[in-house]
A and B are shown apart, each in its own frame.
Chain A
Amino acid sequence: MEEHVYDSVYLRSRDFEEGRALFETWDPNARYAWDAGVAIGGYLRGLKAGKLIGRYCPECGRVMIPPRMFCEQCFRATDHWVDLHDTGTVITFSLCYVTWDMVRLEEPQIPAVIEIDGASPGMGIMHILSEVDPDAVRIGMRVQAVWKPAAERTGAITDISYFKPLG
């Protein structure tokens, strides 16, 4: 099938630096202000107040976080808010040595999915682990949220600075 393959021209960084490859640049200036709505609006208010909250579906009985006004399994409205704990269990984690724009890090960031106590099994949220030796992190580890001081909380997921080992 070689005859059906086109030989694209492979450019190198040098080609740009030395002006052999021409290009145009554009910054998209794409800015948005997303309406949080009822469910996430409540979630953010909870975060500002220093707590994690979920929603309950009366049909399947799940307590869900992040909260949503509809249960995606039963396709019906969720019933009420449930106050959850700010502790949980690490379901999975990684030790990440590069940032989102591929800059190398000396100390790894530790993203994790954390199953939140008070929610149904498997109900996790994504956050960062810190105040922990990277080599000591384990799936199944118990962790707790470290909150920003109340005056600094704005109603965002970053009102929790990170999770650290419990106890």
Chain B
Amino acid sequence: MSRNRVAIVGAGMTKFVRRAQETAKELAWEAAHLALESCEMTLDDVDAVVIGTAPDAFDGVHMKSEYLSDGCGAWGKPVMRGYVGGGTGVFAPIQGWYHVASGLFDTVLVICEEKMSSCQPHPQAAFLTIFDHTTERPLKPNLLWIFALEMNAYMNRYGLDKRDIATVSVKNKRNAADHPAALLGDPNITVEDVLNSEVLAWPVQRLDVSPVTDGAVAVVMCAEHVARRATNKPVWIEGVGWSLDTAYWTNRDLSYPVYVEEAARMAYEMAGITEPRKQIHIAEPYDPFDYKELHHLEGLLLFDRGKAPEAAAAGVTQRDGDLPVCPSGGLLGVGNPIAAAGLMKVAEIFWQLRQEAGARQVPGRPKRGLAQAWGDLMQVGTVVVMGV
């Protein structure tokens, strides 16, 4: 595959909560030391640190990774922060991968953290500044606009039924009831609940959306010779891919995430996957909104364009379905501390492939899974394929 095979050998996370008492540094530390403990390592074993965290505006600290560095175990160590918006949570392990696969480092601690609650009066306000400062911000846009515009384009293009899309929210919130870190797990939620929820920006309704959250997740990544000592169940990074679309999002066809397909193809090629639908056993696509899970499943080439909603409605993506999707409960159920949410998905695949997902465990001993995240102005796709 490349110079060094790289595996994830440990993972830890904090509960995802609406507003944590812990500071950003403390959240990072809790996740980081739990990840190290889970594979019986200490900071002395760590050669480098990778930090993934999304807008500095949320935590309210410029050059956020410097502030976080101590909580991430980076004192006296090489540390680097990658930042690709919402794609960061799955990009951070890609960075961890290239740190180890380069041969420069044997063991890398990867931490993703977000403390969105710091941003007052509402974290939503920080999203104003993702828009172009001259051609868009004067219109006072709202993050919900771009999701709603994209959702409408997607639904309109394929004649989709909102009801089918709502099943994703139901599936994920119910799945999340079994996740110990979940904020919005709900074993009883129904499609009617989603369809009756308040309209925020039509067609987006309140229960289509994942909540603003604080949280942190960490994983330990090692070169093969270290991984085999650290655990008897290393989870290998088999493929990585990422791709960025144009900043001119108003010039794009929003009904299909081309950048997710590009990222997926890159990861599949590296992993030697030629038939993703057969060869990927479990998927954690990024689901900040219910329609996004479906949009991304199509971009990941796991369903034909416009066909993911009916598959979801038919139960294909349930935990006991043909292709379990977001068995963790996803962002909709566990929560959405942006960068940490993506790494939560990677951690979920890690635990699932090791048969350690407890009540969320999908049947059938899956061997290969993928995690995908997305961000920027509906622009970036980041994909990691993992296997045992």
Direct contact between the two chains A and B in their complex (CB within 8 A): yes
Per-residue interface assignment for chain A, residues 74 to 102, with 1 indicating a CB less than 8 Å from any chain B CB and 0 otherwise: 00000000000000000111111111111
Q: Is the CB of B21 within 8 A of A8?
A: yes
* A100 partner residues in chain B, CB cutoff 8 A: 124-125, 127-128, 140-143
Interface: A72 (CB within 8 A): yes
Per-residue interface assignment for chain A, residues 40 to 68, with 1 indicating a CB less than 8 Å from any chain B CB and 0 otherwise: 10011000000000000000000010101
In the bound complex, CA of A93 to CA of B35 (Å): 44
* A146 partner residues in chain B, CB cutoff 8 A: none
Given contacts A4-B38, A101-B121, A123-B251, contact A10 B18 (CB under 8 A): yes
Interface residues of B, dominant DSSP? mixed
Given contacts A5-B12, A7-B15, A127-B139, contact A122 B20 (CB under 8 A): no
Q: Which size class do B's interface residues fall under?
A: 35 or more
A8 CB contact (under 8 Å) in B20, B141, B149, B156: B20
Interface: B250 (CB within 8 A): yes
Interface centre among A100, A124, A158 (most CB of B within 10 A): A100
Q: Is the CB of B124 within 8 A of A102?
A: yes
A94 CB contact (under 8 Å) in B203, B347, B358: B203
B201 CB contact (under 8 Å) in A7, A64, A96, A101: A96
Q: Is the CB of A98 within 8 A of B135?
A: no
Q: Is the CB of B20 within 8 A of A94?
A: no
* A3 partner residues in chain B, CB cutoff 8 A: 38
Distance to closest chain B CB from A142 (angstroms): 16
Interface: B189 (CB within 8 A): no
Q: Is the CB of A157 within 8 A of B139?
A: yes
Distance to closest chain A CB from B286 (angstroms): 20
- CB-nearest residue of chain B relative to A134? B202
* A21 partner residues in chain B, CB cutoff 8 A: 21
Q: Apart from A111-B149, A123-B250, what are 7 other A-B pairs with CB-CB below 8 Å? A: A1-B11, A8-B16, A11-B117, A12-B19, A92-B254, A108-B201, A111-B148
